[in-house]
Structures are given as structure tokens and as C-alpha cells.
């Protein structure tokens, strides 16, 4: 029994290795120790001098980052407020926990996709309950000519209404659904199948500041040669290096996104695509963008590796299904 009469036989001091940390007699057994300094942890601890609902010692949980560990206690910095020092003898249980997702990763997939609508300024949109019908008269891109069906629509005859909408426009109904979702099962159950042979599309996000730093570390900045010409049109920008490379970016609610990145075959592997991206990131940062996004096919391993090196991580993935 530990001090206060609380059984602690099911926890372990000092991590999975079994080493004692600090040599405190009666310390609870848990997955904490010096190895968690700098990591996010949850700690259950005794509240001295207080009684819990069952009549025994009171306990409370603390979530935060462990900033120090010594022979007598640890320090945990919660997300708000002052750091808390916890004596080892008061730790009942605890463990490391995954880092809290960044603000950009806490944005739901449907909201991320909605921000990306800014990439097509002539886009016609029409709500279908919680779904969004999308059509661009100037672009054949699937993202601009498909129903965004992330989650239940809440509307009767939703699939039939999707077919009717696109029959009068593109003649080919296409749905964008989260991979493995109930909506994918719904469409497939009605005979819809893969729109093409492409793999899933991965929606990736990154911090603008970090990506700019990583590009700068490669010697690629907005002012690096060759010259990149950026043409603005409201919240849309097109960047070009002559006829060798080009891309389009759009700004919306502190996000900047990319589409149409193209490098002429004879000029590839010269870093021109990254120079175009650097110029558009600069343009977005000047407008206040803190998050960058792009979309890439999951089978495009070289592109995924490149973007990973620029700080991009997967936000969600989805697939396109077409009506039979």
C-alpha cells in the first residue's frame, strides 16, 4: 500500500524498462520517468488533504508537457496556466500521450475542402443538404466538377439529385468521398465505381513559416534566380517562370493552397517547381496565410517524399466515384 492507503501495484516507475526513478519507497507504478521530459503526458496524482467521492484520497488528472524530472518529482506545463510540480510520491498513474494535433489538423476535412474552393473563382456551388454540388464552366478538374459528399447529406433521394445536377452540366456525375467512409459504401452500393484508375487523393497541409524555412535551407527563396513572375487576380495568383514552370495559388481565411503545378518535361529536376511554390508562399504569407495545402495522388511516391521534406503532412484522403 502507498501512502494514503492507495493500492499502486498496477503501475510502474521509470518507464517500461522497470528501472526505479528516484528510489522513492511506495511510489506508484507508471510509464513515466526522465525519458518523458519534453513529451506530452497525462498524470494522475493525489490531492493531499482532500477526500475523494468514495471516502478515500482525492485524485486529479493533469495533461501537459513534462519539462523536468528529478529524484523527488516532475514538472508538468499544462496548455494554460502555470507549471505544476508533482512529487513522485503523489503520482498514482501516468503515461506519455500523442502530441496534440496542430490547429490546422483539427479543421474537419469538409472545412478544409471548402477552403480549397477558392482555387476556382468561377465555381458554381449548390448545397444538397450537407453535401456540396460543384461545377466549373472553365475547368475540367474533378475537384471542381464533383459533389463533395463528406458525411450524410440528410436529404432524401440525394444520389438521384446528384445525377440530375451533373446530367445538365458535365453529363458525368462524380462524387468525392472520404476513403473508407459510410458515403463511399453508400455510393458503391448504388453501383458507383472508381472514376478512373487513380489511387486515393491525399490532402496535405503544412505551416507556411516552416515550409518557407525549409525551402530557404535549400537555397530556394522568392527572390532566387530564375525570376518568378506572380500575377494577382483578387485572392488568386499565378506564378510563372517563362514557359518552363507555372502554378496557381488561392488565399482563403489564412490558408493558401496550390493547384496546377506544372514544369515542362525538358526543364524538370532543376528546382523550378519549388521556386514557383516559394513565390506563391511568399504571396500567401504577405496576405496573412499561416497554413499551406496541396493535394497529391497517394501513388505518387516521389511527390509525397518531396512534400514531406517541406513539412507537409496528411490531413485526410478521399477518392472519386462515378455513376454507372
Neighbours of 105 (CB within 10 A): 14
Domain boundary among 100, 128, 147: 100
Would you give the DSSP letter of residue 242? T
Q: Rounded distance, CA 91 to CA 235, Å?
A: 53
- Please, which residues have CB within 8 angstroms of residue 144's CB and are 6 or more apart in sequence? 119, 120, 123, 134, 135, 136
My answer on whether 10 and 144 are in the same domain is: no
Nearest-CA neighbor of 290 among 204, 213, 206? 206
- The CATH number covering residue 324 comes to 3.40.630.30
My answer on whether 4 and 143 are in the same domain is: no
My answer on whether 221 and 167 are in the same domain is: yes
pLDDT at position 223: 63
My answer on whether 209 and 85 are in the same domain is: no
My answer on whether 129 and 95 are in the same domain is: no
Angle in degrees, CA 185, 188, 193, rounded to 5: 135
Q: Rounded distance, CA 145 to CA 150, Å?
A: 15
pLDDT at position 53: 83
Alpha-carbon torsion angle 195, 197, 200, 202, nearest 10: -100
Burial of 318 (0-12, 13-18, 19+ CB in 10 A): buried
My answer on whether 63 and 168 are in the same domain is: no
pLDDT at position 25: 33
Q: How many domains does the chain have?
A: 2
My answer on whether 67 and 140 are in the same domain is: no
Q: Rounded distance, CA 29 to CA 20, Å?
A: 9
My answer on whether 109 and 174 are in the same domain is: yes
Here the cell at position 312 is: 507537409
My answer on whether 27 and 149 are in the same domain is: no
Determine the structural domain holding residue 251 and report its residue range. Answer: 101-324
Ranges of the chain whose pLDDT falls below 70? 1-29, 101-102, 221-225
My answer on whether 291 and 154 are in the same domain is: yes
pTM of the entire predicted model: 0.70
My answer on whether 139 and 226 are in the same domain is: yes
Domain boundary among 82, 100, 118: 100
CA distances from 279 to 217, 238, 245, 252, 304 (A): 15, 10, 12, 17, 20
What size, in residues, is the chain? 324
Domain boundary among 55, 85, 100: 100
* Cis amide linkage into residue 226, ω under 30° from 0: yes
My answer on whether 292 and 151 are in the same domain is: yes
Amino acid at each position: 500500500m502507498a501512502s494514503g492507503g492507495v493500492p499502486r501495484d498496477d503501475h510502474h516507475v521509470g518507464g517500461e524498462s522497470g528501472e526505479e526513478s528516484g528510489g522513492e519507497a511506495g511510489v506508484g507504478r507508471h510509464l513515466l520517468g526522465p525519458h518523458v521530459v519534453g513529451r506530452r503526458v497525462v498524470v494522475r496524482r493525489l490531492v493531499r488533504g482532500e477526500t475523494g467521492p468514495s471516502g478515500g484520497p482525492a485524485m486529479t488528472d493533469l495533461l501537459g508537457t513534462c519539462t523536468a524530472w528529478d529524484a523527488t518529482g516532475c514538472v508538468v506545463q499544462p496548455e494554460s496556466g502555470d507549471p505544476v510540480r508533482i512529487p513522485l510520491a503523489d503520482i498514482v498513474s501516468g503515461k506519455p500521450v500523442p502530441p496534440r494535433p496542430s490547429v490546422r489538423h483539427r479543421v474537419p476535412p469538409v472545412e478544409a475542402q471548402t477552403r480549397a474552393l477558392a482555387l476556382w473563382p468561377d465555381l458554381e456551388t449548390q448545397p444538397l443538404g450537407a453535401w456540396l454540388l460543384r461545377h466549373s464552366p472553365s475547368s475540367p478538374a474533378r475537384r471542381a466538377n464533383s459533389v463533395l459528399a463528406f458525411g450524410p447529406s440528410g436529404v432524401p433521394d440525394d444520389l438521384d439529385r446528384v445525377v440530375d445536377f451533373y446530367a445538365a452540366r458535365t453529363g458525368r456525375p462524380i462524387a468525392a468521398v472520404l476513403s473508407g467512409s459510410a458515403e463511399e459504401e453508400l455510393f458503391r452500393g448504388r453501383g458507383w465505381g472508381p472514376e478512373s484508375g487513380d489511387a486515393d487523393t491525399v490532402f496535405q497541409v503544412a505551416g507556411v513559416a516552416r515550409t518557407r524555412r525549409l525551402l530557404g535551407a535549400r537555397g530556394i527563396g522568392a527572390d532566387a534566380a530564375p525570376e518568378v513572375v506572380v500575377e494577382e487576380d483578387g485572392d488568386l495568383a499565378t506564378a510563372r517562370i517563362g514557359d518552363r514552370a507555372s502554378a496557381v495559388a488561392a488565399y482563403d481565411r489564412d490558408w493558401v493552397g496550390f493547384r496546377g503545378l506544372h514544369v515542362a518535361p525538358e526543364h524538370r529536376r532543376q528546382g523550378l517547381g519549388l521556386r514557383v511554390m516559394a513565390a506563391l508562399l511568399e504571396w500567401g504569407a504577405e496576405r496573412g496565410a499561416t497554413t499551406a495545402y496541396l493535394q497529391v495522388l497517394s501513388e505518387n511516391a516521389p511527390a509525397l517524399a518531396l512534400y514531406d521534406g517541406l513539412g507537409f503532412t496528411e490531413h485526410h484522403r478521399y477518392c472519386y466515384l462515378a455513376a454507372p
